[in-house]
Every structure is written in structure tokens, then in C-alpha cells.
Structure 1
Amino acid sequence: MPRPIEKRPVRVANCSGYHGDPAYEMYRQATLGDVDFITGDYLAEVNLANNAQAWRSGKHPGYEPTAWDGLEQTIDVLAQKGIRVVINGGALDPKALALRVKALVAEKNLRLSVAYLSGDDMYPALGPNMPTTKEELRHLDSGNPSAAPAELTYAFLNNGGKPVPMVSAHAYLGARGIVDGLRRGADIIICGRVADASPVIAAAWFWHDWSEQHYDELAGSLIAGHLIECSTYVTGGNFAGFDKYDLDELVAPGFPIAEIAIDGTCVITKHPGTSGFINTDTVRCQFLYELQGNTYFNSDVSAHIADLRVEDAGKDRVHVFGVRGTPPPSTTKCAVFYQGGYECQLLLNAAGYATSKKWDLFEKQLRHFIPELVMSDLETLEFQRVGVPAQNPSSQLESTTYLRVFITSQKESAVAAAAKAMGNISLKHFSGFHASLDSRSAVPRPFLAYYPALIKQSDIDETINFIEESDKIVSFGTGHPPQYEESGIRDNYDPENPQTYNCNTKEMRLGDIALARSGDKGGNLNVGFFPTNPNHWPWLRAYMTKDRMRQLLGQDWRDSFFIERVEFSHIHAVHFVIYGILGRGVSSSSRLDGFGKELRGLPP
């Protein structure tokens, strides 16, 4: 018998990495070349929570406006070229966006089927208040006995027995519901909180007609989705090696495309003629972004990525392969936000001589004038010194650093009283004291606290819903994975048999010989490093131990933190997860860099 013709790779173009990416990028991805699918990720973890209260009170549409704008601009091209779209821009109310898109399709008399995915909103099941014990809603890291959650992780239990209102709770869905919708004929599928890579997995799963148990293939497509989900992060954006390239190329980089083959391997590329660039360095950087060790979990598959490989495959083309898959865990992540209390920050400047002593004096003064009863009500009072004055400044700005005073409490009155204590210092301040304007001023404002939870996949009622004529809704339950495989404790090791060096050395900055990428996962932060010269790999893996990471963190290190370390030997990368360094994480982190983007800016 003749061998069946193997279906070509599916071309999946990303048009959004968050809700602020321009809507016209969907149109550009559809018109600058041939693609089969357009996917878009519009949701950072806090997006949903920020709008949830307004949406429930009828003051917000529930979906992301840029998602609608992109579809409105592109709908004619989608119909003409037969491009399918899967996006999570439905956010809180994917049905509302789907209805609006269906109305646009009808107005233009286009033959496009519109569906939306539901089941991610767990607020009706878990709300309206936060649990009263830790056991009622397990923390994401509860299975790791070495990683104790940050001190304020369970702050909602310390409210004097009063209920703490939950604001939102959204489970991270996989790709199976989207695939079911595509198989039933959907051209446009609007999702809420699916995992960032799930639309890409679904596109490849549907295109190649994989089964639920093609785990290696699903795992490969998961990593393809991970690489393109953050829009230009793989085409030159957020790239540690940017300074070696023409800056004009990085002003407006083009958005990426993943060409996913039937075996799950992929080529990461972009439309010809667009700015930016794709090479093994940009791909390695994006691969290391927001990982947690050498297994990447999705609701449909666990991707084992220790043997991942990348190879140049031509101009702006990188081949990615070596991923292995196994069944998914029985649980998935659920992002929960609740009313955390009130916060404010003070930003104060100092210039010139003896800056450190100036901040010492100010901290003593503020602590002195905050009443003891107020101090006992504060959850956070941090004095963060930002910057170091130049040794021989050529302007006042080069001589200026600032102090960030960050204050939180469950009581608005306590935050207001702590900030008001500034007035008692009045003209007692240090020499040259001055302040600057800032959006988070000394006025207390409510903030949302984040709690990443684990929920059972079997507790999720995932449904694909088609909008028929006269807005009739026809729904289909999409079930659950056929089998699960629990993950166990993550790998964590220092280098085996590291190479030793007994030669003359010289001091240099780590960034001169290595590139890095860091990001956040709730209260945890990840960072990966790889050398620009492969000959430096034996040295880097020997040098970058867990103890070395503690040393490099310097004064940022706390003994309550926990470090995991793994290696990706084929791409010459060392990867760390630092548990607890971002506190509660996201909107409730007290760090200046609450999303962990600049940990790669470590000391030399």
C-alpha cells in the first residue's frame, strides 16, 4: 500500500500577549502571509480580578476590548482566507464577546461559526468568601514540603473571624474543550481563562487529529504555545541580549508564528519583512520564561522538557524538539483573588553626600512617629532603598536615589495613620529632602490579594457553546482527561562532577558571558541562565549552584525562601525557582519588581 501523505505543519500565529497589545496585530498576522490559526493571550492573572467586581455590578463588559477590536478589524479576512481564531479575550464573560462577534458575522452575512468555552469561572462554587481553613482550598505549592508559602499567604485567615470577600476564582483550562469546538465546526472560539498555551495546543491537536493520548505530540505543541504566547518576547522583546543588535529592529518587533509538525516538533518563525529577529538565543530566553523546573504542566499533558533542543533552521527560523509527554496531573491551577485590604507607598528622594545615613535617619523618624497601636495593625511596613548615587555625578539626577516606603493593612485607617506620620517629621527631615509625584501616592487604596490554589480537574464543568440563529445556545460537555499521572516532588540538584578550574582568573560581569530570562509564578520567581559561547557551559553549570544563587541575591535573600535548581544540558541552561521571594505575588507583592522581570539584573 502506498504510504499516506503526511499533513503539512500547521501555522499558528500569535496576535496578543496581554490585553494592551495593539488590536491591529490580529489583522497583520492574517494579512502579511499565510496562516491557519490565529491565537491570542489577553490575560495576565490580575486582569480578571481587576474587572470582576465592576462586571458583576454591570459596569464592565467582561471581555477585553482589544480582543473585540482585533476581530472587528479582521473578520472579513478571516472569512476570505479560512483562518480559524482561538483567543482567551472573552475573559470574565466569553459569552458576551461571542454574541457580539456573532452579530458582526450576521451583519456582514459571513459564513463563520462562533462558539465560546465556559467552565473556568469557579467563583460560584468557591465563593463568595475565602475559606476559613488552609485545607478547604489547597495552595498551589502545598505538595512541596520544602517550600513554605510566604508569611502573608494565608492573611485571609487573620480577619478576626469575619468573612473575607472573594473577588474572583478562575481555573486554568486545557485544550480539550477548544478541540471539541473545532471538530464540531467552530471558526472562532472565544475563551476565558484557558492556560496561555492551550489555544496553540488545540490548533495543532485538531489539525493533526491527535488522540487524547498522543502525549509526546501534545507536549511538543504545549512548548510551541509557551514560546509564542507572549507575543514579541520570542522575536526580540524582553531579550537580555538586545544591546548587541540594531535598536531600530527592536522598536516594533513582528509577532511570532509556530509551525507545528505532526510529531509535535515545531519551527518558531515570523512573517518576512517584519522587524525583530528570531534565533536560538531569543528562543532559549523565552523558553526559560515562567518555568517551574523541568516539567511543564497543562490540563491535558505534562511536558518533560529536560532534553529540549533548539537549532537554527534559516533566517528567523528555529527548530524546537526533544520534548516528551505523559498524562496530566489530576489537579489544575485556580487563580483566586480576594479583598486584601489597603496599601500606599511613599516615594522620597535624596541627593548628594551621605545618602545611606539620610535613609537611616528617615526610617528611624517614621517608625518613631507611627503610633504603637497603628504599628500593630500594619501587615507590611518596608523601607526599600532604590539605586546608588554616582561616585562623581555630572548632574543632580545622577546623584539622586529614592526610598520607597510600602505600607499595607487590612484597616484603611491604619494605612492612613502610618502615612500621616510623615507630617510629624515636617522640617525635622535630613538635608536636601524632597519628594516626587507618583500614581500610588500616600492615599490608601484598596488592593486585591492573590492566592494560587489547586483544584481537581474532575470538579470543572467545561462546556463548548455554539451560538446559532436568533442567538440560540447549543452546548456540549467536553469531559475530562482519560487518565492522570501525579507529578511528585520536582527535581532539584546541584551539578554532578562539576569541572574545577585552577588557572588565573579575572573579574567580569555575568551578563558579559551569559544571557538570562526571569518571570513570576505567583509568589515564586524563576530565572534561567545560558552562556553565549557554548565553550563556557562547563564553567557556568559548575559556577551557578544553589549556594551561588543565594550569594547573588545578597540582601534580597531570606532564610524562609527555598531554591530549586535543574539543568537543560542540550541548550546549556541552568534554571532556578526561588519560592516565596515575591510574597503573595501579582497585585499583592511588596517588591518594586513584583512580577520578577529583573532578577536577571543580578550583581556581577
Structure 2
Amino acid sequence: MGAAKADRWSERGTRPVRVANCSGYKADPGYNMRMQAELGDVDFITGDYLAEVNIAENAEAMAAGNHPGWEATAWDGIEQTIDILNEKRIKVVVNGGAQNPRGLAEKVLELVKSRGYSLKVAYVEGDNLLPKINQLVEEGLPAHLDSGNADVNLPKNSLAVLDKSKPIVAANAYLGAREIVKGLELGADIVIAGRVADASPVIGAAQYWHGWSATSYDELAGALVAGHLIECSAYVTGANFSGFHEYDLDNFYEMPFGIAEIAKDGSVVATKHDNTKGMVTVDTVQNQFLYELQGNVYLNSDVKAYIENVKIEEVGKDRVRLSGIRGAPPPPTTKLGIFYRGGFHNEILVNATGYSTAEKWDLYERIMRNGLRKQGTIDDFDLLEFQILGVPQPNPRSQQKSTTYMRIFAEAAREETLYSLVKTMGENSMQHFSAGFHCSLDMRTAVPRPYLAFYPALFEQDRLETAVNVLDNATGKAERYETGHPPKYDALEKRLNYNTDAPAAVSSFGPTQSVRLGDIALGRSGDKGPNVNFGVYMYKPRVTSESTDQDAWNWFRSFMSRERMQELLDEDWRDEYFIERVEFPRIGAVHFVIYGILGRGVSSSARLDALGKGFADYIRDKVIEVPEKFLVALRRNGESKM
């Protein structure tokens, strides 16, 4: 892009806007913002600092007087970068204000004034519904996010949010970009938001730059997908990339974060700063595109994006273009994250070594359950699971390779119930199975700890009272501007769910070989509340032709059916789960949502992989039968590094 220009804003709307993201979670250090400003020319820096759990933890700690409410890494980034922002005239939009965007905005203004700069600071309000939530719940609990699908069983204990002994500690609606755009129109250089949706800062930047209206749905939908691509730290530049093993591993640390160039028509080029590590390829972009989707429609408070016809193509080194996104008016509701004190949980880790391990775990579970029955607490647990992790290596070469462990995970309303689990373990510590019983000397995880439970709800956008506040540089006073609601809504439709039309007989593709799914396919998975999403697609053929491509796609989409997904889940499948499936034909991908597999999700999930990020490579490790003719044409795992 060339040298940075102080007059960049005179170019507004005449070229694609260049938006660099600096955070995907509160743990991303502040220097990422500084690097995005230092290493090249950008117009905006955006940051997403909020996962569902940390905004709730902030609320609880802030109420106790132990936290400012905003994320320290957001402040650190602005503090490190303020001089460059002023010099290069780069605007910043972040949701790091969390539960206290005003507090962070006022702190940033103090910094601006101490430097003698004229930068204008604004903050967004209206997402925090905690002051009203108890009344709202008494009027009628807002509908669960997945309640519109009659085939989905809501997670166990979902209605525990109604239990008045479990107080609600946070209730934040996911806002769109309207307040951000208004703040920028009023001259703000730095906009601090709370719980806006992850992609909303990017949408706001692009909408302001190009002057789109609130009904420029195709363009807004493109910006929504752009935000989805870059909002997760380095996920689009090589982090969390399932094909990493084919490259030099030194590419995959100290990676830069992503940049989106968003054109006036809403098309997007994903890229990164030059001369940095990592990579932006069709595969890294396609992996991130498939991350944390919920079908073929991507919802936001500003726009509904239809993404089934997305096209992803390389247009230069570390430059990948996305097009084919279609937009429509947003739904009348937005997501409302409600957190409440769920009770207490703990976990105990016990090891076993070697011979007869399966029988050892069977015996130990019987010992523990018998002890809990004797104490009269066995029925007092909200959740009690005995999870076996690992398989002993045959003819092991070391004791560690012969050792597996049992994870006993429990939740209950009362600490005393969980302490009965610890007591039972202690009483039977010398009545264990044959040689091999041992546990960690650090038993801190066995001590009951309070946890926050999550209820994802739907909330009517027209009931939100949103505004942007612009701080006066001289007095620090805020001038409030109400932002209203979207001009038009499009009702939520039932999500598509289908196996492929006219599936080909798998046997029609000739002889097969047994290989792991990951040998022929890449994928990405993540959490959506109580659900896991999983997108998967075949490696691109090494020697390609239209007939090879079409045959491979016909086999793959026919093979990767809902029934196949259930079969691949094997012992992890439960009858209360539900599978949705859609296809993305232009990128050769199949996408699944497995409803209910994460329980209530976030901090109350019993799964070791509570965020679902390991799910993709678990499924990719399954052995399947693949037609030999495709193995000849496809890149194969482990053949060579590139």
C-alpha cells in the first residue's frame, strides 16, 4: 500500500478500506495493536476482546469492586499505540470496554489530553441489560437461542436460570454497528464498545468508509464475513490451521494478525502485513470461514448474510479474495447472553497404568459411586461424569506411554455435595485397584469452585435502548446520541438441514483404501453455546481437471452425510443430540452443527474440550474408506512439506 498518509481520510470511499484486527480474546497482548499500526498502512484497527465467559466474569468482579469492568489488554494496546494512531490518523474500534465502556473511554481521553492530541473518543451504550433482566425474566424468560428448531433438545438444566437461588450476574445483548458508525460520523477517532458482536467493529469501519446505508445489505453482508475472518487473532494467518503440518513449523509462532481489505461492493481480500511470518492462503482463509458458523446463514444485528455460494480464490501472495455473499435485512432479534451462578463444580484426576486398565476404571467408578450412595449424596449432583482419557500403548516403551487417566467431573448446587466426592476418594485411597493407582499430588481442582452458567437467549432489537456518547476533549463530558433500530427486519427462517441431492453410490467410485479423514481433508470446529460446529473439505487435487474435481466433490458430499457424522461420533453420540448439515459447493465444503454436545456450554460444560476446538481433528483422525483414484490426485498427509 506504500507509506502511511496523514490525509488518508481524503481517500475515503475511493478505494477499499484496510482494516487490521489486533485481538480475538482478552489474552492477546496490547503490542498486537501497536504492531498492526507500525508494520504497514491501515485505515482502521479493530479488536474483539470478549468471549462469553470473560464478560460475565468482569461483571461479577466489577460488582464486587475488584475489577474496572473493561479489559486491561485493550487499554494496554491503546496506550502503546496512541502516538502512532495520532501520527498516521488511524481510527480504532474495539469492544474492550466490556462491562464499562465509559470507564475505558474516559481513561483513553485522559491519555489523549496528556499527549496534547486532538483525537476524539466515543463509547457505545445499550448492550448491558443487567439492571432490567430480573424484571424481563419475570415477565417471561426470553426464548432460548435454539428454541426455534423443534428437533433440538435444549441442554439439561437450561431452565435453571429461573432458580432465584442462582442470581443472574450478567445480561448483555449483542449489538451491531449502528452506534459505531454514528460515532465515526460524529468525528470519533477511537470508539470503545461493550458487547457488540465480534464482527461489528469491522462492519462499522467499512460502512462508515464507504458511506453505505443501513439497507446496503449485500455490502454489509460482505463486511460481516470480513469481520468473521479477521476477528480471531491469527486464525486467518495460520493459527488453529489444520494443515500446519505440511509447512515449516517455524511459520506458526510470532504470527501477525489478519487484515481485511473491503471494497465498495462488499467483496473482501484477506491479507497480512508484508515481511511477517504466518501465511494467508486459500486453505487458511477457508478454515477460518468455516469456523463457528451455524449453517448457511450468518446472522448479525445489522444484516443477514447468505453464504452458501461463497467463492474463495488466491489473487496474490498472501492475498485471498472472498465474493458471492448475499445480504438481506437482519432478524428482529439479537443474541442475549445471560449468565447466572450455576452452583459449584470440581474435578478429580486419577491415573492407572498398564495391564487390565479397562477393568481398573470399571472398578474405580463402582467404588466411587458406592461411597457416594453410602453418604446419601449420589442423587444430589447436577452432573457427575467418569471420563476415561487415553489408551495405554501396546508393549509400552515408557511408563507414561502406559498410563491413562480418569477425569471425574461434577457439578452441584452445594459445595458439601462436591466435598462428599473428595471424602469418598480419601476413604478409599488405600482400597484401590491393583498396582497402577496414583493421582496428582496437586489436588486444587478437587476443591469445589463456583461457576457461571450460560443461557443464550433471543431478544427483540426494538426493545434495546442504544446510543453513542462522544466525550468533549476540554470538559470530558459526554454528549449522548440515540441510534435507534434497523429500518427493516427479515424474519428468522428455519435453518436448512439436508443431505446432498441425489447422492452417488459410494461404491460407484471404484476400489478404496483405508486412510484417515485428515489425510484427504482439512477442517475447523468451534463452539456455539451448547453446540459444536464442524466444517470440512477435501484437499485440492494436485493434478486437477474438471471431471476429477466434480467426481471428488460428488463422492465427498455423498459420503459426508448426517448419518456418517453420527457414525463417526461413535461412543460420543447421544440420542438427545441433533445434527444439521449444509453444503458450500463453490468451495467443496460440508458443514455440520451438532446440537447439545457441549451441555450448557462455556464454563459449565463437562467436556474436556469445552470450546469444541479439538473436535475437528478428532473427527479427522477417524479411518475411512477413500476411492483410490482420488488418493492419486490429492495431496496426502505426510508426503512432503511445502
Q: Same fold (TM over 0.5)?
A: yes
SS of aligned partner of 2:158: coil
Number of the residue aligned with 2:638: none
Separation in 1 of the partners of 2:186 and 2:444?
48
Structure 1 partner of 2:113: 106
Deviations 1:436-484 (A, max 9, x none): 2567511111111010011100111111001112211100000100010
CA distance in 1: counterparts of 2:411 and 2:115, whole angstroms: 52
| 1:588/1:438 CA distance change after superposition, 3 Å | farther
Q: How does 1:276-355 map to 2 (within 5 A)?
A: 276-355=278-357
User: Measured at CA, do residues 59 and 389 of structure 1 come closer, stay the same or move farther in structure 2, by a change above 3 Å?
Assistant: same
Secondary structure, aligned partner of 1:487: coil
Judged with a 3 Å threshold, the aligned counterparts in structure 2 of structure 1 residues 288 and 439 are, in CA distance, closer, same or farther, namely farther
Question: Which residue pairs with 1:47 in the alignment?
Answer: 54
Contact kept, 8 Å, 2:168 with 2:341, in 1: the verdict is yes
1:568 Cα deviation after fit:
0.3
Cα deviation 1:73-132 (Å, max 9, x = unaligned): 10011011010000001111000000000000001000100000010101011138x946
1:398 is displaced (CA, Å) by: 0.8
| Pairing partner for 2:123 from 116, 119, 125 | 116
Alpha-carbon distance in 1 for matches of 2:373, 2:362: 19
1:57, distance to aligned residue in structure 2 (A): 2.6
Contact 1:153 1:583 in 2 (8 A): no
Partner in structure 1 of residue 174 of structure 2: 172
2:564 aligned with 1:562? no
Instruction: Give unmatched runs, 5+ long, in structure 1.
Output: none
The residue identity in structure 2 corresponding to 1:94 is P
Report the AA paired with residue 404 of structure 2.
T
The equivalent of 2:447 in structure 1 is 443
Aligned residues between the structures: 596
User: Separation in 1 of the partners of 2:61 and 2:613?
Assistant: 29
Query: Which residue identity does 1:37 align to in structure 2?
Result: F
User: What letter matches 1:238 in structure 2?
Assistant: N
The answer for the alignment partner of 1:194 in structure 2 is 196
- Aligned 1:525-564 pairs, distance under 5 A: 525-534=532-541, 535=549, 536-564=552-580
> Secondary structure at 1:234's aligned position in 2?
coil
Q: Is the 2:58–2:98 contact (alpha carbons within 8 Å) kept by the matching residues of 1?
A: no
Partner of 2:546: none
Q: Deviations over 1:410-443 (max 9, x none)?
A: 1111111122111221211012100125675111
Output the CA distance in 1 between the equivalents of 2:90 and 2:96: 17
Q: Does 1:136 align with 2:138?
A: no
Amino acid at match of 2:255: P
- Counterparts of 1:79 and 1:426 in 2: how far apart (Å)? 64
Q: CA deviation at 1:136?
A: 2.1
1:68 to 69, 72, 75: 75
8 Å contact kept, 1:347–1:438: no
SS of corresponding position for 1:19: coil
The residue aligned with 1:156 is 161
Which of these residues, 468, 486, 490, is aligned with residue 495 of structure 2?
Answer: 490
Helix, strand or coil at the partner of 1:120 = coil
Query: Aligned partners of 2:167 and 2:286: how far apart in 1?
Result: 41
Which of 263, 266, 270 is matched with 1:268 structurally? 270
**Alignment match, 1:14:** 21
Q: Which residue in the other structure is 1:472 paired with?
A: 477
Question: SS of the counterpart of 2:607?
Answer: coil
Task: Give the whole-Å Cα distance in 2 for the aligned partners of 1:548 and 1:567.
Answer: 15
- For 2:217, the equivalent position in structure 1 comes to 215
Rounded to whole Å, the distance in 2 between the matches of 1:5 and 1:379 is 56
Q: For the aligned residues, what is the CA RMSD?
A: 1.5
Change (3 A) 1:220 1:407: same
- The match for 1:580 is 596
Q: Secondary structure at the match of 1:421?
A: helix
d(CA) in 2 for partners of 1:519, 1:101: 34
- 1:59 maps to 66
- AA aligned to 1:455 is F
The residue number in structure 1 matching 2:232 is 230
2:13, 2:211 within 8 Å by CA — same for their partners in 1? no
Is 1:419 the counterpart of 2:422 in the alignment? yes
Q: Quote the offset at 1:6 in angstroms.
A: 6.7
The alpha-carbon deviation at position 302 of structure 1 amounts to: 0.1
* Alignment partners' CA distance in 2, 1:64 and 1:552: 40
- Looking at structure 2, the residues matched to 425 and 58 of structure 1 have their Cα atoms a distance apart, in angstroms, of 42
Residues 522-531 or 46-55, more deviating = 46-55
The amino acid that maps onto 1:325 is: G
SS of aligned partner of 1:426:
coil
1:405 aligns with one of 401, 405, 408:
408
Q: 2:250 aligns to what SS in structure 1?
A: helix
What residue identity is the alignment partner of 2:485? H
Taking the aligned partners of 1:114 and 1:181, their CA distance within structure 2 comes to: 9
Q: Residues 235 and 288 of structure 2 are in contact (CA less than 8 Å); yes or no, is this contact kept in structure 1?
A: yes
Answer yes or no: is the 8 Å Cα contact 2:13–2:209 preserved in 1: no
Question: CA 1:261/1:230 → structure 2, altered by over 3 Å: closer, same or farther?
Answer: same
Alpha-carbon separation, structure 2, partners of 1:592 and 1:163? 28
Q: Residue 12 of structure 2 contacts residue 210 of structure 2 at CA under 8 Å; is this kept in 1?
A: no
One-letter identity of the residue aligned with 1:311: E
Q: Is the 8 A contact 2:343 2:450 kept in 1?
A: yes
CA 1:282/1:450 → structure 2, altered by over 3 Å: closer, same or farther? same
1:599 maps to a residue whose letter is F
Alpha-carbon spacing, 1:109–1:17, altered in 2? closer, same or farther (3 Å): same
Query: What is the SS of the residue equivalent to 1:100?
Result: helix
In structure 2, the CA distance between the partners of 1:550 and 1:440, relative to structure 1 (3 Å rule), is farther
- Give the AA of the match of 1:334: L
Q: Distance in 1 between matches of 2:12 and 2:482?
A: 33
8 A contact 1:172–1:334 mirrored in 2: yes
Q: Secondary structure at the match of 2:234?
A: helix
Distance in 2 (alpha carbons) for counterparts of 1:486 and 1:344: 42
* Structure 1 length-normalised TM: 0.97
1:380 & 1:440 partners in 2: Cα distance? 19
Q: What CA distance in whole angstroms lies between the structure 2 residues aligned with 1:391 and 1:163? A: 50
Please list the CA deviations of residues 557-602 of structure 1 after superposition, one character each: whole Å capped at 9, or x if unmatched: 1111111000000010000001101000001101010110111112
Deviations 1:270-324 (A, max 9, x none): 0001110010000110001000000000000000000001000111000010000
Question: What's 2:359 paired with?
Answer: 357
Instruction: Give the percent of matched residue pairs that are identical in Structure 1 and Structure 2.
Output: 55
**What per-residue deviation string (whole Å, max 9, x for no partner) do you get for residues 475-500 of structure 1?**
00001000100122100000111222
